[in-house]
Structure 1
Amino acid sequence: MTVMAERPTMSGTESQSFEELLDALDDLDVPDGFKAEIIRGNIVVSPWSKAYYLDVMELVCEQLRPHLPEEHRISYGPFLFVFPHAERAYGPDIHVARRSASRTGDNHLDGEALSFVAELTSPSTRDDDLTDKVEVYGRAGVPVYLVLDMQEEQATVLWTPSAKGYDSRITRPFGEKLPVPAPFDCLLDTTGFKAP
């Protein structure tokens, strides 16, 4: 039996270029139930979400689907979006992107195609979801970033992307409705987002 740390980081990657990290990530044999991202010059392997997170991801997708911008799709799952300007590659829990972004044979999707990203925090990813990803998604111009803080049981929506991340934000506890701004302009009902 192999025991894996909650959030292992591939050592020795700090001096590699972003392109070399992407190549190494492509060659990495990630165990089932884990995802790999490039964060702060390292390849970071994290476990996928707890089982009940699937219900939360589906609730978000169901509520946003009628409000998607034209020619966009919503999905959750293991897709890697790259942000070369920031030398990051993230696999967001939920994403809305232009349909044309997936019409490629490459397994690295363009982060600039995103119009919405949602991350469901876990003890191993929470810090990056609340700091590094806020800055990178905002600087890349992703219009809306939703952080579902599963530990604090609250939802934060960020919008108005800027060089610092985002200039606008609203936080509500799970169980309340959260306004999701343009290009979606809808209310997200967070009832049912708590752990069972």
Structure 2
Amino acid sequence: MRPVEPGEFTVADLELAPDEGPRYELVDGVLLVTYMSSTIHQRALGALMLHLASACPEHLKVLPGPLEFRPNDRLALVPDLLVLPNKEHVMRWVDELALVVEVVVSTTRTVDQVLKPELYARAGVPAYWIFDPVEEELTVLELADGSYQVRAVVSGNDVFEAELPFSVRIVPADLIE
């Protein structure tokens, strides 16, 4: 990456970042760096991906990060899991999403629960889910009038019947077995 002043990074700089190693994200020109996640994070992410993929209709597809969401040249986010239109083959980044899912861990909690919902709402992503594998809790946010509204908070063996972006039944406790 080139030497830059804080707040001056663009998505062009991310093109020069290595594909392996830390996760690089960009918020208003500021580079965010996060590192490998825990075993519980990976298990929950895998279970969520399999569960969503099994219910996903043909016009959508479910993919894991490190695929980037780039709605403009000063914002690049790497969701843990994303649902997007099943269009052409995507190599490294997309600019349209139907659902973002983040699996929180202690090092990403504030970013996932405070910063990212605001950014995805501004970018017009219809739904944002936050799954906490330690608490076995799923928080479902849906876009209404430009901001996210809490649609549901379910935990343990409670059931969430999703409608957006497609019908799927989620039981948080089933995602961490």
TM bucket (normalised to shorter chain) is: 0.7 to 0.9
Spell out, residue by residue over 1:51-71, the C-alpha distance to the aligned partner (whole angstroms, 9 max, x if none). Answer: 232221222122222432432
Equivalent position amino acid for 1:24 in 2: D
Change (3 A) 1:70 1:29: closer
Shift of 1:151: 5.1
The answer to whether structure 1 residue 88 and structure 2 residue 71 are counterparts is: no
Provide the rounded CA distance (Å) in 2 between the counterparts of 1:102 and 1:190: 31
Residue aligned with 2:125, SS: coil
Assess if the C-alpha contact under 8 Å between 1:175 and 1:189 holds in 2.
yes
- Larger displacement relative to structure 2 (117-126 or 76-85): 76-85
- Quick one: which of 127, 144, 162 aligns to 2:110? 127
Question: What is the root-mean-square deviation in Å for CA atoms of aligned residues?
Answer: 2.6
Assess if the C-alpha contact under 8 Å between 2:103 and 2:133 holds in 1.
yes
Spell out, residue by residue over 1:62-100, the C-alpha distance to the aligned partner (whole angstroms, 9 max, x if none). Answer: 222243243211111311111218x32111001111122
Provide the rounded CA distance (Å) in 2 between the counterparts of 1:185 and 1:73: 14
Provide the rounded CA distance (Å) in 2 between the counterparts of 1:75 and 1:186: 16
Assess if the C-alpha contact under 8 Å between 2:98 and 2:126 holds in 1.
yes
TM-score by length of 1: 0.76
Residue aligned with 2:10, SS: helix
Change (3 A) 1:131 1:45: same
Residue aligned with 1:92, SS: coil
Provide the rounded CA distance (Å) in 1 between the counterparts of 2:174 and 2:58: 28
TM-score by length of 2: 0.83
Percent identity between matched residues is 24
Q: Where in structure 1 are there 5+ consecutive unaligned residues?
A: 1-9
